Amino acid sequence: MSFFNVIRWITWKDLISEFRNRENFSSMLFFALIVVLIFSFSFSMDQTSGREQIPGIIWVAFTFTGMIGLGKSFAAELHNDCLDSLQFSPAQKGAVFIGKFLANLLFLLFVELLLFPMFVLLFNLEVLEKLPTILVIFLGGSVGLSAVGTLFSAMTVQIRAREVMLPILLLPLAVPLIIGGVEATAGVLRGDPFLLYAHWIRLLFAFDVIFLVVSFWAFEWILDT
């Protein structure tokens, strides 16, 4: 099978299995809602002082939600020894990586798109004219998180204590994404001029490009036999 066919089939099978049981999607969505709820108790959420914390809450919710989805991504391959089949299949490992990465990215973006209107309602944000910039920032953060996350998901699924190890390995490395996402979102929501936070968006996309390449290359060694 050609490189792009492998990508297409892997992504497609993940989407179909998700569509059939909706396990990943529902757990991600409700987990994110609970995170937001907990935050609303932890910080005072009145109109003035609460403003400052909203970008942080959004990104903590996204990161933790991504962690749930990424953890399940390769855990699902353990049933019926699917992981072994992927390892032994003659398909290029890089194509398998891109396929899984695309599926994870789509789940994450989908959940983010559902969550964002809720943030707008709950925190009373005014975003209509800022929407394109915000979506670009979300995309930038999600691509990087899914790229590194797919790599570490494949790594941690084959070791002990995998639920704990994924966040422990992934979160410190995702620090630039979290800082960049929070600062850029804060800039947009405050209504700053674009040039004041453009460097954060550049940071997000630089991170994305670098770690897509690195994870693509490193995946060879993860699915090695």
Partner 1 sequence: MIKQMRRYEGWFGVAAGLCIVSGLYFGLVGSPADYYQGEVVRIMYVHVPLAYTAMLAYGALFSCSLWYLWKRDLIVDNMCQAAAGIGAFFTAVALITGSIWAKPTWNTWWAWDARLVSFAILLLILIGYLMLRTFTEEKERAARYAAVLAIVGGIDLPIIKFSVEWWRTLHQPLSISTRGLSIAKPMGIPLVFMIVGFSFLFFYMLAVRTQMLYLTHLLEAKKGRLLGEVHL
Q: Which residues bind partner 1 (CB under 8 A)?
A: 148, 151, 155, 158-161, 165, 168-169, 172-173, 175-176, 179-180, 183, 199-200, 203, 206-207, 210-211, 214-215, 218, 221-222, 224
Cα 64 from Cα 70, distance rounded (Å): 10
Cα 194 from Cα 175, distance rounded (Å): 23
Q: Which residue has the tokens 């995702």?
A: 174
- Closer by beta carbon to partner 1, 130 or else 199: 199
Cα 151 from Cα 217, distance rounded (Å): 10
Q: Which residue has the tokens 């800082």?
A: 179
- Closer by beta carbon to partner 1, 28 or else 154: 154
- Is 77 in contact with 86 (CB distance < 8 Å)? yes
CB of 165 to partner 1, least distance (A): 6
Start-end of H helices in 43-130: 54-75, 82-88, 93-123
Cα 32 from Cα 11, distance rounded (Å): 24
- Closer by beta carbon to partner 1, 114 or else 206: 206
Cβ neighbours, 10 Å, residue 81: 11
CB of 11 to partner 1, least distance (A): 23
DSSP state of 126: -
CB of 152 to partner 1, least distance (A): 8
CB of 158 to partner 1, least distance (A): 7
- Closer by beta carbon to partner 1, 18 or else 183: 183
E strand or H helix that includes residue 189: helix 175-190
Nearest to 198 by CA among 210, 180, 217, 213: 180
- Closer by beta carbon to partner 1, 69 or else 167: 167
Could you tell me where the beta strands, DSSP code E, fall in the chain? none
Q: Which residue has the tokens 């915000």?
A: 134
CB of 200 to partner 1, least distance (A): 8
CB of 5 to partner 1, least distance (A): 27
CB of 201 to partner 1, least distance (A): 12
- Closer by beta carbon to partner 1, 59 or else 116: 59
